[in-house]
Structure 1
Amino acid sequence: MPPWLVRNLILPTLDRLIGRPTAAMLRELTLSQHATHDELRVLQTRKLRALLSHAHARCRGYRARIDAAAIEPAVANLESLARLPTLSKDDIRAAMRPWLEAADDTRARRDVRTTAVDHHDSLCDPVVPGGLHRYTTGGSSGEPLIFFVDRRRQAADQAARTWTRRWFGIEPGDRELYLWGAPVELRAHDRLRSLRDRLINHRLISAFDMTPRAMDAALHAMRRFRPVHVFGYPSSLARLAEHAMAQVSWAPSVSGRRSRGATESQNRTVTGFQNRTVTGFQNRTATVRERRNTLPATVPRLARAGGGPGGPAPRAVFTTGEPLLPCDRDTLQAFFGVPVADGYGSREAGFIAHECPAGRMHVNMGHVIVELLDDAGRPVAAEEPGEIVVTHLEAWGMPLIRYRTGDVARWNSRPCPCGLAHAALAGIEGRRGDLIRTPEGNAAHALAAIYPLRECPYVRRFHVVQRADFSLDVFVTGELPEAVRARLERDVARQFRDRLTVRLHVAADLPPAPSGKHVVVRSEVETESRLAFQTEPRP
């Protein structure tokens, strides 16, 4: 579709049809990037008062919390927020347990997707405009969570994505290729999503199928589709880039004109940042250019291809869903030759922060309040690590007020060269799982095993171990009926097209790793075998 048609007709029409105020949210965010830090805190205070007033009036569980903290919503401020207790995944599960127990069969779960839910209205507004829509967390913590989102919150996240993309010259309707989780078997709503993607110039490549043949097909699709930007899990994107760079015969085609244009766009003033030139980004671009020029000349890269029928290179690469390791960032920058920007958020907590062109991870202060707390629940000192606690100011259907993410970060208090006054995070420590491999040398993202587990309401926590013989031991906690156990084994095996033996174990508890972290997916396949898979010749 022509990008202007998507931007001016298709996307606004879709938003109007489902009652999602994305355009209004985007206008507000665009104005916020001209605000001072104090002005942003005033905006947060106003939104916090509205959220607390709504939660007190419509959500019985929050009414009890707010009254116990002796907070008057109409005059609350950012400091009074600390009087409220934090909200954990277990708190949400306890509030929703009656519904989860009644919603085991697929039909029941589907029926509540857009209807008022009486059983868990302690945390929800059951009659929020547009209805409540069921979501499940990505499962990277090993503790899946079912929660609900309203149209207002959906619009906020979409507006934040558009806002941050514009920092890099990306507009709605520009062609996007994303490497993401895709089901093995398409359901009706998956087909509708696929149709919507085509209407808005999106193309999905499954991160669950990273076989050499699948990656060859993905690279071919990339050349034909000519994406303006690429989005996905950093580990999967880096693996795809490494696969391409390992094959001297694969020559990605891009026009030299666009490569030069990308460099020029990095050096020019970033639109909307009060016309301040991003000098820090210029310096970082020079460093990337020098690193790229030191790589072997035999390695084909998008930045060095120099033209051909494949079309121009993308303008930017965006990653999210797991930590972006420095080695993966270097691989992606070397291969694509364009800026690589990381985003931080979660399905339940929303769009929290994103890197600007200067490389700073700015908090989306127009939509979220972020606190960094120590083990005692106190704010951490400057430059000290603390748990990320989020209050989403636009989540009114199921408010998340002082939600504990389980991730750790530090404040970056230095002024950003981009001029944006939004607070910035540094040193975010999220969760990252191993790849899962088959005896044939194929690999899949860890989420391939996680998807069926996170959808099961009986599973409280889980841990997946791939043994040296490539079989999978899946450990879960919770009270699972025998029929559910058998179904889970089948569903996990189906994710790998029944090529792996899957054994399900119900445990009383899942102890953390020696590091203290809960590793969700761990592989015992020998390192030598992994290296052999990566260098395996093309069939």
Structure 2
Amino acid sequence: MMMGALSKYIFYPAWDLKDGSQRLLEWRQLEKQQWWTQDKLNHLQLNRLNALLTYAEKHSPYYRDLFKQHGVKAADIKTLKDIERIPVTTKQAIRNGGDRFISDEFVRTQLVSAKTGGSTGVSLNLYFDESCQEKRNAAQLMADRWSGWDLGMKRASVWGNPPVPGSVKQKLRHNLLDRTIYLDTMDLNDRSMGAFVSRWRKEKPGAVFGHAHSIYIFAKYLLQENITDLRPQGIVATSMMLLEHERKTIEKAFDCNVTNRYGCEEVGLIACECERHSGMHINVPHVYVEFLDGNNNPVAPGEPGKIVVTDLNNFAMPLIRYRVEDVGVYSERTCECGRGFPLVEKLEGRVADFLRLPDGGQVAGISLVERTLTKVPGIEQMQLIQEQIDEVAINRVRGPEYTDATDEELEKSMREVFGEDVALTINDVKEIPQEASGKYRFSICRVTQ
């Protein structure tokens, strides 16, 4: 308790002061802005959007040329809806454009860099200025507090390839600020999870953060071993889709609500559940989010649309109307919490995870997996891989209730969606493989046409 208070009231402010960081200042602004009305927030977004567009038009070679090519001027964007005059930016455009996205006021080697994992087929090199990075960290602080965590509270992180502090500064930060113990998702087994439980009991973290499915695996272990003394004040599931049956298992194991959070490497926090757990609030001060159909036209509330995001923080490498390759549903209802941040009703998965049907239709693979797992007893985990339009491979891990009838029921359930013209192959596997990042993909479509 004493260390947590010191971290919150002494170490966090002192560290920001030493580094000249604006993180805590931005966080305090966000704490106020989340309670603003939507009209006031829209005005804030428009002002920040105008500043970004004016800057990109002058300093980003890619957007300067794009605006000229399509007859768009930053000064012409008078309303948020006017942004639709600017073409959507794709992952392929970023890959092909490279450094042309970067502002001519910055030197690439002096920027904060990151790289996406490329799970949708396209990996990207990304760059941010320090101010952008600080604002992203501030938004994470705000959203993490919605879960029950607070500054200074020790974390239990279920994450792949956890960072190892090397320098003296990194070690100081790890012990005074970050205060995190890790369960490496690249090595999830009874031995590693048992060791993590022992460390948890010793260090008593107050909140859990991690990949949704990895937390679920750890939660199942706790239930299996009848471990009931790990009681965090908050749980944040991120980096991948949180399935409803996983949420229930996690909440049962920890006796704590799960906070679902959505973001990406390219733009940081996009949306997060508050303490009401009724949809995810969009991070309005930092991102402008659109939901578009196949023709890049806005969809109606309640309809699934491709998520397109404009990062209002990153001036070093502007991303304007960037399609993140995810599909979600937005809502016009307001949350009972009273925040002015609008809501994402639900996520339906990544574009690359939608499976193709012979009649030209599509089905959200992640939804199909979830429906099957809850409908057919005896399946522990499942992954769908579609290499051809008429072939779907089903990687199935046997569960405790598995019987000779399980696979028959599994195929029957799949036939309800794919019909009789698609070849279904059930592969009996011991586990679903992870990506290099430690994440899991439950549906993969490699059909290009």
Matches of 1:13 and 1:228, distance apart in 2 = 23
CA distance, structure 2, for counterparts of residue 64 and residue 222 of structure 1: 54
Shift in Å, 1:235:
0.8
User: Pairwise mapping of residues 86-101 of structure 1 onto structure 2 (< 5 A)?
Assistant: 86-96=88-98
Contact kept? 2:129, 2:316, Cα under 8 Å: yes
Q: For structure 1, which runs of at least 5 residues remain unmatched after alignment?
A: 97-119, 254-301, 303-312, 435-445, 447-464, 469-513, 516-522, 532-539
Where does structure 1 differ by over 3 angstroms across 4 or more consecutive aligned residues? Answer: 12-20, 67-72, 121-126, 128-131, 185-189, 191-195, 431-434, 465-468
| Alpha-carbon displacement from aligned partner over 1:204-234 (angstroms, at most 9, x marks no partner) | 2211100211111111122212111100011
Classify the secondary structure of the residue corresponding to 2:80: coil
Which of 323, 327, 330 does residue 411 from structure 1 map onto?
330
Deviations 1:131-166 (A, max 9, x none): 411101133324221111221221122111111222
Q: Is the 8 A contact 1:148 1:398 kept in 2?
A: yes
State the partner residue of 2:174. Answer: 197
Judged with a 3 Å threshold, the aligned counterparts in structure 2 of structure 1 residues 227 and 187 are, in CA distance, closer, same or farther, namely: closer
1:377 aligns with 2:306: no
Partner of 1:132: 111
Inter-partner Cα distance in structure 2 for 1:415 and 1:351: 20
1:61-109 per-residue CA deviation (whole Å, 9 max, x = no partner) reads 111223334444356231221111111111111122xxxxxxxxxxxxx
**Which sits farther off after the overlay, 198-207 or 45-54?**
198-207
Q: Give, as a single letter, the amino acid of the residue that structure 2 aligns with 1:80.
A: D
Report the residue type matching 1:79 in the other structure: K
Letter in 2 for 1:202: T
Pairing of 1:278-357 with structure 2 (within 5 A): 302=230, 313-357=231-275
| Contact 1:20 1:154 (8 Å CA) reproduced | no
Question: Paired residue for 2:59?
Answer: 58
Q: Which residue of 2 aligns with 1:148?
A: 127
Q: What is residue 204 of structure 2 aligned with on the other side?
A: 226
- Counterpart-to-counterpart distance in 1, 2:285 and 2:100: 27
**Stretch deviating more after TM superposition (25-34 or 327-336):** 25-34
Q: Is the 8 A contact 1:228 1:314 kept in 2?
A: yes
Structure 2 residue aligned with 1:5: 6
Select which of 139, 153, 157 maps to 2:136.
157
Q: Unmatched 5+ residue regions in structure 2?
A: 354-365, 370-382, 384-392, 397-416, 419-424, 433-449
- CA 1:128–1:337 in structure 2 vs 1: closer, same or farther (change >3 Å)? farther
TM-aligned CA deviation for residue 346 of structure 1: 0.3
The aligned amino acid for 2:93 is: D
| 1:29-68 correspondence runs (5 A) | 29-68=30-69
Larger RCO: 1 or 2 (CA < 8 Å, sep 6+):
1
Quickly say closer, same or farther: Cα 1:55–1:422, change in 2 above 3 A.
Answer: same
Query: How high is the TM-score relative to the length of structure 2?
Result: 0.74
What is the rounded CA distance, in whole Å, between the counterparts of 2:325 and 2:108 in structure 1?
A: 30
Counterpart-to-counterpart distance in 2, 1:125 and 1:368: 23
The CA deviation at 1:427 is: 2.5
Q: Structure 1, residues 308-366: CA drift from partner, whole Å, max 9, x if none?
A: xxxxx211100100000111100111011111101001011210000011112110111
Question: Does structure 2 retain, via aligned residues, the 8 Å contact 1:71–1:80?
Answer: no
Q: How many residues of Structure 1 are paired with residues of Structure 2 in the alignment? A: 366
Q: TM-score, normalised by structure 1?
A: 0.62
Decide which structure has greater strand share: 2
Matched letter for residue 9 of structure 2: N
Query: Which residue of 1 is the match for residue 156 of structure 2?
Result: 177
Matched residue of 2:187: which SS? coil
* Residue-by-residue CA offset, 1:171-216 (whole Å, 9 max, x unaligned): 2111111111116x96957x97565322211222211100211111
Q: 1:530, 1:427 → 2: CA distance? A: 27
